[in-house]
């Protein structure tokens, strides 16, 4: 046999073997990466005082709810809307905060518009978006 042919054949086999090993290593490394955790948010509101609180990018929905209620700071605070991973939420209210509208949507502008529509249903005065944010 031709010596050049044998050397080329051996080089080709080594190259293929190295490529297969690199692919196997890369697949193993990708499989061991943790999946991105879901992120949750919530908005809480107290009907009597008009106080409100919110949370974003929390590791669980329960924790998001607890943070929002805590931030609200009144004994009557209740979660009025929740937002899952990749979702946005908005709160609109009247000036005194006693009439509200809240919405959760896939993008910030849609959440804002929906919260205003929800607030306007009460016909208790002019509604303004007070805050909006999105989970990652």
- CA 14 to CA 35: how far, in whole Å? 34
- pLDDT on residue 33: 46
Task: Specify whether 123 is located in the same domain as 60.
Answer: yes
Whether 53 is in a domain gets the answer: yes
Q: Which domain holds residue 48?
A: 40-134
Q: How many CB atoms within 10 Å of residue 56? A: 19
- Render pLDDT for 42-70 as a digit per residue (tens, 0 to 9): 999 999 999 999 999 999 999 999 999 99
Task: Specify whether 46 is located in the same domain as 91.
Answer: yes
Task: Specify whether 98 is located in the same domain as 118.
Answer: yes
- CA 2 to CA 72: how far, in whole Å? 83
Whether 3 is in a domain gets the answer: yes
Question: Coil, strand, or helix at residue 58?
Answer: strand
Query: Using the 8-state DSSP alphabet, how is residue 34 labeled?
Result: P
Task: Specify whether 5 is located in the same domain as 64.
Answer: no
When divided into structural domains, the chain yields a total of 2
Reading the block at residue 90, the tokens are 């908005």
Task: Specify whether 68 is located in the same domain as 10.
Answer: no
Angle 128-132-133 from CA coordinates, rounded to 5°: 175
Give the torsion through C-alpha atoms of 118, 121, 127, 128, to 10 deg. 10
Whether 35 is in a domain gets the answer: no
Task: Specify whether 59 is located in the same domain as 98.
Answer: yes
Task: Specify whether 24 is located in the same domain as 63.
Answer: no
- pLDDT on residue 77: 96
pLDDT along the chain (136 residues), means of 10: 58 63 55 64 94 95 97 96 95 91 96 94 85 92
Provide CB contacts within 8 A for 117, sequence distance 6+. Answer: 101, 103
Quote helix, strand, coil % in the chain, to nearest 5. Answer: 40, 30, 30
């Amino acid at each position: 046999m031709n010596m050049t042919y044998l050397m080329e054949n051996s080089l080709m086999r080594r190259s293929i073997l190295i490529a297969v090993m690199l692919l196997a290593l890369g697949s193993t490394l990708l499989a061991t990466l943790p999946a991105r955790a879901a992120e949750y948010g919530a908005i809480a509101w107290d009907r009597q005082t008009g106080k409100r609180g919110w949370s974003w990018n929390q590791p669980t929905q329960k924790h998001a709810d607890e943070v929002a209620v805590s931030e609200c700071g009144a004994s009557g605070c209740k979660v009025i809307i929740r937002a899952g991973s990749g979702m946005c939420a908005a709160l609109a209210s009247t000036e005194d905060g006693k009439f509200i509208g809240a919405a959760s949507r896939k993008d910030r502008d849609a959440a804002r518009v929906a919260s205003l529509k929800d607030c306007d249903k009460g016909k208790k005065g002019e509604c303004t978006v007070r805050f909006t944010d999105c989970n990652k």
